[in-house]
Amino acid sequence: MNLLTELVAFVVAIGVLVVVHEYGHYSIARLCGVKVLRFSIGFGKPLVQWVSQKSGTEWTISALPLGGYVKMLDERELTDKQDKIPEADLPHAFNRQSVGKRIAIVAAGPVANFILAIVLFAGVFASGVTEPSAIVAVPPAQTVAAQAGFQGGETIVSVSDANGNDTEPVRSWADLRWKLLSAAFDQNRVVLSARDGGGTYDFPLDLSHLTSKDLDDDFMSKLGLEAGGSKLTIAGVEAGSAAQQAGLEKGDRLLAIDGRPVDSASTFIGYVKAHAGQPVHLRIARGAAQNAEQNAAQAGDAGQVQTMMVTVTPATQRDGETGQEVGRIGAALAAQALSVDVRYGPIESIRLGAFRTWDISIYSLRMFGRMLTGEASLKNLSGPVTIADYAGKSARLGPSAFLSFLALVSISLGVLNLLPIPVLDGGHLLYYAVEAVTGKAVSDRWQLVLQRAGLACIVALSAIALFNDLARLIHF
């Protein structure tokens, strides 16, 4: 069933993105008076086709759905030298258009992808989405968050630069992560304003030590920032495990580990992994008294509150990914995180959608540049297998997640097509830019040479992306 969901979500995602991209080319071509011969969704043998009586364009759905194209009337693409375009149609040939019109037609595809991303993000922002609150879990000792003064339980409300200027509100944990990612890419210092029961305080955060590899991984964990405020309970206990031997039961709520409050599953798991073979002391609430402190305060009778201390010694186990010895107690966790509904008005949603699209586009270009210089790993490249996987996962999470995923891929498609690589839209734009500056078109000979080089680049990038897909699939 999951495989079917992934396939359907993948086909829908690719279909929408291809149609929007190619329709961008088509609409501006028609606006500029260029005759469009064919609009094809997919490549290869046509499965369905019809001809528009109004425009004469042949609309086609082809067998291979990984892409599409718009074929315009062009004297350079005549297969037979004896063929000639009718005199009446010559003004409508693509190659007869001015440089400005050709640039507009070619750029329209990527621009359509960016517009789609803005609309999708705006729709998500306007409809509202439930996200984890920006509550900080207890940070590990010696991390940047701990050194900044976070103790856990604070709710971050805004981010500003090192001087306290350019303050931006923080509405959720996802919002916080994105703002810190943008700042971390430039290795800036920021100030996080957070409130707790005693008021609102500023926490200076130094991001200058983060490397490109840190940004490839979960950089928030490297800073010691984990989403907190969760209620952790034992969802299941393995037979014969350390958890069962210690007396832990399904439904027990975890309150503290070795005296440290527990409100983050990843923090708890990390602590257990780091204490293989060493006894750790858990404070838990059991049965009807899972909210131990609240029940005690309301009942006024501590005897009715079933809080207890449990000592468990994590078993030693080799981590399949790192090969290191880690601790494991053999219990499944369930986390009930505090969440917030993030919703914006129509105008604000469009503005935020445009800003988010711009930020992601710039981030993508910077990351691609760093991959070229070796500062970032080529593992960041993903192919159709990974896209299908994330398409299925986002579809199962709901409409908002799928629309956000679609917006991200649409931006990636737009950015990729604008790269100055021959055979891509960006390569053609480069030709036309040279023509606009020099007054002469790039010769057919040079275009042929550059196209072959561009095709080699595309094949190489596709091969790397496919290798990364397979490596993720088989954990190579």
Among the listed residues 6, 22, 131, 154, the single catalytic one is 22
Q: If you write DSSP's letter for every residue of 385-408 in order, what string do you get?
A: HHHHHHHHHHHHH-HHHHHHHHHH
Residue after which a domain boundary falls, among 193, 223, 253: 223
Whether residue 65 has pLDDT greater than 90 = no
Strand partners, 336: 231
The reply to whether 323 falls in a domain is yes
Helix-strand-coil percent breakdown of the chain, rounded to 5?
A: 50, 20, 30
Residue after which a domain boundary falls, among 207, 223, 239: 223
- The pLDDT tens digits of the residues spanning 278-302 come to 999 999 998 744 444 444 444 444 4
231-237 and 331-336 beta bridge pairing = antiparallel
The reply to whether 172 falls in a domain is yes
Confidence of residue 429 (pLDDT cuts 50, 70, 90): very high
- The pLDDT tens digits of the residues spanning 124-165 come to 989 887 888 899 988 888 888 989 999 888 999 999 988 878
163-189: b or e for each residue (b if 16 or more CB lie within 10 Å)? Answer: eeeeeeebbbbbbbbbbbbbbbbeeee
Helix (H) and strand (E) counts for the chain? 14, 16
Number of structural domains the chain divides into = 3
The reply to whether 1 falls in a domain is no
Domain extent, residue 367, equals 110-127+353-474
Mark whether 278 and 315 lie in a shared domain: yes
Structure tokens at 204: 């200076």
The reply to whether 20 falls in a domain is no
Alpha-carbon Rg for the chain in angstroms: 28
Q: What is the pLDDT of residue 247?
A: 92
- The pLDDT tens digits of the residues spanning 357-409 come to 998 898 888 888 877 777 667 777 777 777 777 788 788 878 888 999 999 99
Contact 243, 329 (CB under 8 A): yes
The reply to whether 175 falls in a domain is yes
Q: How far apart are CA 195 and CA 211, in angstroms?
A: 29
The reply to whether 342 falls in a domain is no
293 is catalytic: no
Mark whether 465 and 362 lie in a shared domain: yes
Report which of 195, 207, 215 is spatially closest to residue 150, judged by C-alpha positions.
195
Q: What is the pLDDT of residue 79?
A: 65
Mark whether 326 and 254 lie in a shared domain: yes
Mark whether 314 and 373 lie in a shared domain: no
The reply to whether 413 falls in a domain is yes
Mark whether 358 and 435 lie in a shared domain: yes
Q: What is the pLDDT of residue 295?
A: 45
CATH number where 161 lies = 2.30.42.10
